[in-house]
């Protein structure tokens, strides 16, 4: 884990992916590669949003470290961004179901010095929310692309439907349109990152929001929660809650697309 300027600023991210079989067919491998690339970009976009908002609110710490960029080289954590996601995505292909299909990953924490803000608590909350908001923005962009396809391309509704169902493992991926498949996976992954980062479990973004709302004595106890307890909660509780939030959200997006 990378060092932090302040406690509780490390960010973990988790993305839910449905099982799509364990074969090594070219279509399955292509989907796995799409998932990894989308996750990498989404993590970079998330951290860039934190850094950009901090800069806008007066703290140039992240900007001086070159973190206001979408270049993943500035955000990659070797274990959280590369090793863990690779095990989750590609493990089932060799019969190793790591984390039961939940794609866990994180980027390097964005360095923030809150004393540089004019209104510390308010501005820190805004910077924290910028990350999940960036994932929501990517969901909206992917949704718009798919909606435009339905409204302007002959047979677009069927193409979107097939690609979306293939992304969630309910249709064969071989017939899916690649660009629409990427959009579908982007919606799945970024919804996952959005919801998971809002959980009030250290060191996720939601824990930062909760920490800023707690009285001083409670903050001292909150900061002493061991990392191993946080990760157990993320894996065994966070994953369950995430699945409950994802199902209706994905269903709502699909229903909205099919109603166009």
Q: Would you list the domain boundaries of the chain?
A: 13-138+196-247
CB 49 within 8 A of CB 43: no
Tokens of 218: 């409670």
Nearest Cα residue to 18 out of 209, 219, 214, 246? 246
How far apart are alpha carbons 96 and 116 in whole angstroms?
46
Residues 75-85, mean pLDDT to the nearest whole number: 85
CB 195 within 8 A of CB 242: yes
Distance of CA 221 to the CA centre of its chain: 28
Cα-flanking dihedrals φ and ψ of residue 34, to 5°? -55, -45
Distance in Å from the first CA to the final CA of the chain = 45
pTM value is 0.86
Tokens of 39: 């996750």
Cα-flanking dihedrals φ and ψ of residue 175, to 5°? -95, 0
Q: Which 8-state DSSP code applies to residue 199?
A: S
| pLDDT tier, 98 (very low <50, low <70, confident <90, very high otherwise) | low
Q: Which 8-state DSSP code applies to residue 79?
A: I
Residue 101 falls in which region: left (phi positive, over 0), alpha (psi -120 to 50) or beta? left
| pLDDT tier, 40 (very low <50, low <70, confident <90, very high otherwise) | very high
Tell me the per-residue pLDDT of 102-124, one tens digit each, with 9 for 90 and over.
666 778 889 999 999 999 999 99
Question: Which position has the higher pLDDT, 167 or 49?
Answer: 49
Nearest Cα residue to 142 out of 183, 174, 203, 88? 183
3-state secondary structure of 176: coil
Q: Which 8-state DSSP code applies to residue 73?
A: G
Q: What is the pLDDT of residue 130?
A: 97
Residue 99 falls in which region: left (phi positive, over 0), alpha (psi -120 to 50) or beta? left
3-state secondary structure of 48: helix
Tokens of 46: 């998330």
Cα-flanking dihedrals φ and ψ of residue 64, to 5°? -65, -20
Q: Which of 135-139, 170-174, 223-227 reaches the highest mean pLDDT?
A: 135-139
Question: Which position has the higher pLDDT, 87 or 50?
Answer: 50
What value does the mean pLDDT of the chain take? 84
Angle at 191 between CA 123 and CA 188, to 5 degrees: 155
Contacts of 46 (CB under 8 A, 6+ apart): 11, 13, 107, 131, 132, 134, 135, 193, 197
């Amino acid at each position: 884990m990378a060092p932090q300027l302040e406690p509780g600023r490390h960010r973990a991210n988790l993305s839910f992916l449905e099982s799509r079989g364990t074969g090594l067919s070219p279509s399955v491998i292509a989907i796995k590669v799409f998932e990894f690339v989308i996750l990498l970009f989404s993590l970079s976009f998330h951290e860039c949003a934190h850094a950009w908002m901090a800069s806008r609110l007066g703290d140039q710490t992240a900007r001086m470290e070159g973190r206001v960029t979408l270049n993943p080289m500035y955000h990659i954590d070797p274990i959280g961004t590369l090793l863990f996601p690779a095990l989750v995505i590609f493990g089932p292909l060799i019969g190793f179901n790591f984390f039961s299909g939940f794609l866990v990953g994180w980027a390097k924490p964005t360095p923030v010095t809150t004393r540089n803000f004019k209104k510390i608590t308010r501005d820190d909350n805004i910077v924290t929310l910028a990350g999940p908001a960036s994932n929501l923005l990517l969901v909206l962009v992917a949704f718009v692309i798919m909606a435009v396809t339905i409204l302007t391309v002959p047979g677009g509704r069927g193409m979107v439907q097939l690609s979306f169902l293939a992304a969630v493992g309910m249709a064969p991926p071989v017939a899916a349109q690649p660009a629409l498949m990427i959009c579908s996976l982007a919606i799945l992954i970024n919804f996952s990152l959005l919801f998971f980062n809002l959980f009030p479990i250290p060191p996720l973004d939601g824990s930062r929001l909760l920490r800023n709302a707690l009285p001083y004595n409670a903050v001292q106890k909150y900061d002493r929660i061991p990392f191993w307890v946080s990760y157990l909660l993320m894996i065994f509780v966070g994953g369950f809650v995430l699945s409950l939030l994802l199902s209706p959200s994905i269903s709502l997006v699909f229903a909205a697309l099919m109603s166009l």
